[in-house]
Structure 1
Amino acid sequence: MLFNDPVFASRLLTLLTLSFHIIYATIGVGVPLMIMIAQWIGIKKNDMHYILMARRWAKGFVVTVAVGVVTGTIIGLQLSLLWPQFMELAGNIIALPLFMEVFAFFFEAIFLGIYLYTWDRFENPKKHLLLLIPVALGAGMSAFFITIVNSFMNTPAGFDIVNGQLANANPIAAMFTAAMPTKVSHVLATAYMTVAFMLAAIAAYKLIKGSNHAYHKKALYMAMRIGLVFAIATAIIGDFSGKFLAEYQPEKLAAAEWHFETEEGAPLLLYGVLDENQEIKYEIRIPYALSILAHGDPFSEVVGLDQFLKEEQPPLVVHYFFDLMVTIGMFMIFLALIYWIGMKRAWSFVQSTWYRWLIVLGGPLSFLAIESGWWLAEVGRQPWILRGIMTVDQAATTSDYVGHMFILFAGLYIVLGVGTVVVLTRIFRNNPLEKDLEKMQGGDPS
């Protein structure tokens, strides 16, 4: 059985854990910014609806933070248990960003606790708003430091290998690798975009279900505008990411685009299938677009998979991850752009039920795009765990019990996922919008 192969089982368990954790990590990074923006608008406009948005979103955020702590801790343990050879080599040099990520989380958690327990305790609400700055900053820094570790795995730097041993370690150089700028900026932008569309989906769903409250209309409009800004930012950063891959990881770009032969003026391939002879069928070809993505020049040469050994080529399935990520990203840009223009010009269809259902669909689709982006990044680095230095096979544990661990952790994630939904549902069911609004109007600090 495949579960009896410790390498395969370790890869599968890591995939499961990262895919589950990225949901909570994305919420953990994006929600503090949304809370801060809502509260700032509420104070600026003296509008209690925006203040209430911040208050209600903060209630739900605490639940996801608690689960995120559990899954984040599991990832740290699994790095050592499943990939001991990797941690033995790289742990000496990437320990600094791992430690700083923990510090950033505690920094965020401390101020989040103060923020939550000081509602209505300040005469000047702007002082309470200031508490959100370290919360949002801590959340962003957590993503920054953990993404640095991933960047290091893609473009290792800051050390030498002498006689099979790590030497001349420079932790600062290891943190600021060639992959760091595009990876960090892409992670942050997609987190903010995804959370904005998630909150927009919730507001749109409430409106579809019969609520005509101004609170939901304002939440929808604000979230869609913020989502549009970060969706466009994500597309721009994606272009820079393509140029990074062309220079530093050309095999990943070639696999993602099924670019088998090196050529000039290379087309961009979307969709399609491969037959048994690796012939591409039913694809959409955009002339010169891959050369533009890779080098900004429609006639430039793009390196193909023919320049790499067969055993060093990434799995070709990453093409589908790329297509899924790009398709959803472009869909969300157009959906948000049409909504924004339509609201400005009073187009009635953007407030219709069918269009709001598209916005509702955009919430889970945005998370699917996040997942596919990470699958592209991680599977596209194969067979390397530390590119050019250590393969996944060399890094994995030799334990025969990883398959049993997979079953146990899968059960744990089911419990955590279902538990999150149940707790959040009860929180907001027991504290409906009207009840919270009545409390604020009555000055009830509870």
Structure 2
Amino acid sequence: MALSLGWHIILASFGVAWPAMILVAHWRGVYRRDDVALGLAQRWAKVSAVLFAIGAVSGTVLSFEMGLLWPGLMGRYGGVLGLPFAFEGLSFFVEAIFLGLYLYGWGRIPPRRHLLMLVPMAAAGVVGSYCVISVNAWMNMPVGFRLVDGQVVDVNPWAVLFNPGAILQFAHMWVAAYMIVGFLVAGVYAAGMLRGRYDRHHRLGFTIPLVFASAGALVQPLVGHVLGLRIAEAQPAKLAAFELATDTESPSPLRLGGLLINGQVRYSLDIPSLGSIIARNSFTAPVQGLDTIAPTDEPPINITHVAFQSMVGIGTLLFLAVALYWFARWRGRDLLSNRWALRFAVLAGPLGVLAMELGWVATEVGRQPWVVYGYLRTRDAAGDNPQIWILLVATAVLYTGLTIGAALVLRSMARRWRAGEEDLPSPYGPQSDAAGGSRPPTDREATTP
């Protein structure tokens, strides 16, 4: 499940964030008559279709794994989780339908109406991701049911969908999606500029996604801080692992680095009182320590702590980098001519992906030993089929093949675009007549009097 989720979450982020970036580029192309922006929108849409198709495969694998790997969870709580998963499925179909309309609408739908195809596509990506995140938030803060003699009764599916942790956890993931997609796409154009392609196509292709990524990087620390305050009340064991708080102290220090070895904290840098300020919004409020948690309820401390602090460290680095970039822009300096700045821009995408993966490790490992916090332990939720390793091998082979295939297809598309082939053929779509027949007008041509 970790392999599947870790691989799929990257593609899901593109479904959440990239339609908004395509919308901005297309809007600029239509309303400002910017052919470069319109060309970017068309290229990005075709890349988005490739990623969407691959994400559909991994999403299908995940739906099977929910039943195969977690019979204890779905057998007992399937009725609780049905509504969010149903809405997620509907959102997927809406996104697929409007992506198809957008792809095949070039030159066939009036420009402004064509632009509107992106709105439901973007909305469906957001709604679908919210539904999935609401399930995970419910697993962290379960509500909307009663347990009577081991049976789930009085299910309120709307309370599950809008549980207390859903909005904040979704906001954290939503902002992260804009960060990693923005940095990854901007990094592609930064790599092009490092190879000497300083044309307007590369500059605009860099700037639009970087604006989204920068907004996410600047907002994310605040969202994470507010979410951390909720964790202090709902999951004190997870927060204790995050902060490596072995004892309850008032005020609590902030421990940078460190490992728990034989019950003792080693190799950490302790900053007095800062733990209470960051984790509790107080100068004196204590962070509940592991000394108050039963050993059977403790998560794997070191994995949770290292993952959490690494995520925060990368997020802080990206925050400082974008703040410096826009400050330099404000001061009139063009960092796009600085090769070190471009190299960091290329690196920012993988760093963002790593931060998101580490955040999910901290969230999921930090909830252990619970799948449904306080109600269902992992050992009771997981299946025990001795042949499950076959599924793991098959999944690894599948994802490896999909990754290689996606890389080959995208590299082929990029080479053909650089060679001047603007109109790459789309399967099942009407094509231009090579013998000189008519073709549908482009959006740019359709707006010309």
Could you tell me which residue of structure 2 aligns to residue 167 of structure 1?
153
Could you tell me which residue of structure 2 aligns to residue 61 of structure 1?
48
Q: Is residue 298 from structure 1 mapped to residue 290 from structure 2 by the alignment?
A: no
Could you tell me which residue of structure 1 aligns to residue 139 of structure 2?
153
Cα distance in 2, alignment partners of residues 437 and 290 from structure 1: 56
Deviation at 1:401, TM superposition (A): 0.5
Question: Runs of 5+ in structure 1 lacking a partner?
Answer: 1-13
Cα distance in 1, alignment partners of residues 209 and 342 from structure 2: 13
Deviation at 1:97, TM superposition (A): 0.5
Cα distance in 2, alignment partners of residues 52 and 97 from structure 1: 37
User: Which of 120, 125, 144 is equivalent to 2:107?
Assistant: 120
Could you tell me which residue of structure 1 aligns to residue 381 of structure 2?
395
User: Which of 224, 229, 238 is equivalent to 2:210?
Assistant: 224
Could you tell me which residue of structure 1 aligns to residue 192 of structure 2?
206
Cα distance in 2, alignment partners of residues 219 and 288 from structure 1: 44
- Check whether the contact 2:108–2:441 (CA below 8 A) recurs between aligned residues: no
- Check whether the contact 2:139–2:373 (CA below 8 A) recurs between aligned residues: yes
Percent identity, please.
Answer: 34
Deviations 1:274-319 (A, max 9, x none): 43442221x2333322212222112112211111101101111111
User: Which of 12, 16, 20 is equivalent to 1:33?
Assistant: 20
Could you tell me which residue of structure 2 aligns to residue 251 of structure 1?
237
Cα distance in 2, alignment partners of residues 269 and 207 from structure 1: 40
Equivalent position SS for 2:264: coil
Please tell me the root mean square deviation across aligned C-alpha atoms, in Å: 1.9
Cα distance in 2, alignment partners of residues 168 and 239 from structure 1: 34
Question: Runs of 5+ in structure 2 lacking a partner?
Answer: 426-438, 444-449
The structure showing larger relative contact order (alpha-carbon pairs under 8 Å, at least 6 residues apart) is: 1
Deviation at 1:347, TM superposition (A): 2.4
Cα distance in 2, alignment partners of residues 443 and 434 from structure 1: 19
Opposite residue 285 of structure 1, the aligned amino acid is D
Deviations 1:55-91 (A, max 9, x none): 1111111111011111111111111011101101110
Deviations 1:348-380 (A, max 9, x none): 555311110001000111111111111111111
Opposite residue 43 of structure 2, the aligned amino acid is R
Could you tell me which residue of structure 1 aligns to residue 293 of structure 2?
308
- Check whether the contact 1:204–1:356 (CA below 8 A) recurs between aligned residues: yes
Could you tell me which residue of structure 2 aligns to residue 351 of structure 1?
337
Equivalent position SS for 1:271: strand
Deviation at 1:165, TM superposition (A): 0.7
Deviation at 1:48, TM superposition (A): 1.4
Q: Is residue 75 from structure 1 mapped to residue 54 from structure 2 by the alignment?
A: no
Opposite residue 403 of structure 2, the aligned amino acid is G
Question: How many pairs align?
Answer: 429
1:438/1:419 CA distance change after superposition, 3 Å:
closer
Q: Is residue 238 from structure 1 mapped to residue 238 from structure 2 by the alignment?
A: no
Cα distance in 1, alignment partners of residues 214 and 224 from structure 2: 15
Cα distance in 2, alignment partners of residues 51 and 267 from structure 1: 52
Deviation at 1:323, TM superposition (A): 1.4
- Please give the residue correspondences for 1:175-186 in structure 2 after superposition, counting only pairs within 5 Å: 175-186=161-172
After TM superposition, where is structure 1 displaced by more than 4 Å over at least 4 residues in a row?
Answer: 442-446
Cα distance in 2, alignment partners of residues 349 and 213 from structure 1: 15
Cα distance in 2, alignment partners of residues 402 and 122 from structure 1: 49
Cα distance in 2, alignment partners of residues 350 and 122 from structure 1: 36
- Check whether the contact 1:225–1:336 (CA below 8 A) recurs between aligned residues: no
Opposite residue 114 of structure 1, the aligned amino acid is L
Equivalent position SS for 2:367: coil
Cα distance in 1, alignment partners of residues 21 and 356 from structure 2: 18
Could you tell me which residue of structure 1 aligns to residue 363 of structure 2?
377
Cα distance in 1, alignment partners of residues 271 and 321 from structure 2: 23
User: Which of 396, 406, 426 is equivalent to 1:420?
Assistant: 406
- Check whether the contact 1:107–1:134 (CA below 8 A) recurs between aligned residues: yes
Cα distance in 1, alignment partners of residues 31 and 273 from structure 2: 48
1:343/1:367 CA distance change after superposition, 3 Å:
same
1:323/1:433 CA distance change after superposition, 3 Å:
farther
Cα distance in 1, alignment partners of residues 419 and 359 from structure 2: 35
- Check whether the contact 2:229–2:280 (CA below 8 A) recurs between aligned residues: yes
User: Which of 378, 396, 417 is equivalent to 1:410?
Assistant: 396
Deviation at 1:223, TM superposition (A): 2.1
Cα distance in 2, alignment partners of residues 403 and 85 from structure 1: 19
Cα distance in 2, alignment partners of residues 343 and 174 from structure 1: 45
Q: Is residue 84 from structure 1 mapped to residue 102 from structure 2 by the alignment?
A: no
Opposite residue 311 of structure 1, the aligned amino acid is T
